[in-house]
Amino acid sequence: MFAKRIAIDLGTVSTLVYTPRRGIIVNEPSVVAVNSDQGSLVAIGQEAEDMLGRTPQALISHRPLRDGVIADFRITREMLKHYINLAIGRLRLVKPDVMISIPAGATSTEKKAVIDATIAAGARAAYIIEEPVAAALGAAVPVTQPRGNMVIDIGGGTTEIAVISLGGVVAQTSVRVGGNKIDTAISEYLRKHHNLSIGEHMAETVKHKIGRAIADDQQHSMQVQGRDIVGGLPKTITLADSEIIEPIQDILEQIVRNVRSVLEDTQPELVSDIIDQGIVLTGGGGKLTGVDVLFKKVIDVPILVADDPEYCVVNGAAVALGNLAEYQKSLLSSG
């Protein structure tokens, strides 16, 4: 029975797949390589990302999701089919039930597109859950209780901010900035200040290795390789963490402004709960060094980084799929 349930965190940057018996079986980039001449899929996931910037003209590597929602229906369907087959095999007597997370700010049309793509990919029933609710469940937040719980989920394409009580979202916003915007900010900084052009992978490596939300007592640096914009030749520089704090903070300030806006739209009783128990930080962006310290400083509310924050959404989607009756009002289904 459990092998026929699949939870999927379908993100702009990465896709995670969970099955009850095996746990997380896929954690790959949301990238697809397509043969432009034939229109056929050549590679999906990590293999496709490895082709980014390295493919011949006949091959196009791109991301079929933008800002957490489907930008290319056909390719997203094929990507979902690929991961469903990985989860339960191509030969099956019973189609699976699939739970997929989506941004809280997705429109009804975008939600329907996710359900339609999931059914077309081979699901018997498709359910969608808003990412902040899934993130809260994955972080073991007691969302069904009559008290306010606030979650900030910093994903690759979007940041989901929500206040949840009694299993439902009381106030929320979906900010279309996340880890990929931080990568872009780092790339733009290097282009402007060092005349250095770098690829997506290098920008992400810089973020993970020396990215800081706030300065600390230690100094960190790394070698960054790319192409000199002026001369066009390969170039290597030594980059200090202090240089990229400012462009990263510009992104984080957008998130903080929206957190304040959500709090302003929340009933005082629920805000009191949030002050008492703190805000839970999830998503891959929650691993950015010092982000909890910065948010605590500017919002003046305790910030709690969830364990394994990048897995909270897919784990929470799995919890909801295994307890459909309990979380029914938080879900949208194909039925």
* Amino acid letter, 335: G
Rounded to whole angstroms, the Cα distance separating 99 from 331 reads: 9
The three-point CA angle 266-132-46 to 5° equals: 155
What CATH number corresponds to the domain at position 70? Answer: 3.30.420.40
Residues 120 and 256 reside in one and the same domain: no
pLDDT of residue 3: 46
Q: pLDDT for 188-247, tens place per residue? A: 999 999 999 998 889 999 999 999 999 888 889 999 999 999 999 999 999 999 999 989
Q: pLDDT for 306-334, tens place per residue? A: 999 999 999 999 999 998 888 776 676 76
Regarding pTM above 0.85, the answer is: yes
Rounded to whole angstroms, the Cα distance separating 95 from 89 reads: 11
Residues 164 and 273 reside in one and the same domain: yes
Residues 71 and 121 reside in one and the same domain: yes
Domain of residue 236: give its range: 179-247
Structure tokens at 275: 């002050």
Query: Structurally, how many domains does the chain consist of?
Result: 3
**Averaged pLDDT for residues 81-96:** 84
Residues 95 and 241 reside in one and the same domain: no
DSSP 131-156: HHHHHHHHTT--TTSSS-EEEEEE-S
Residues 42 and 70 reside in one and the same domain: yes
Residues 40 and 121 reside in one and the same domain: yes
Q: Is 198 helix (H, G, I), strand (E, B) or coil?
A: coil
H or E stretch at 280:
strand 279-282
Binned at pLDDT 50, 70 and 90, residue 61 comes out as confident
Domain boundary among 247, 265, 281: 247
H or E stretch at 270:
helix 268-277
* Residue 124 confidence (pLDDT) above 60: yes
Q: pLDDT for 220-230, tens place per residue? A: 999 999 999 99
Residues 106 and 6 reside in one and the same domain: yes
Domain boundary among 194, 216, 247: 247
**Averaged pLDDT for residues 269-292:** 95
Domain boundary among 247, 268, 290: 247
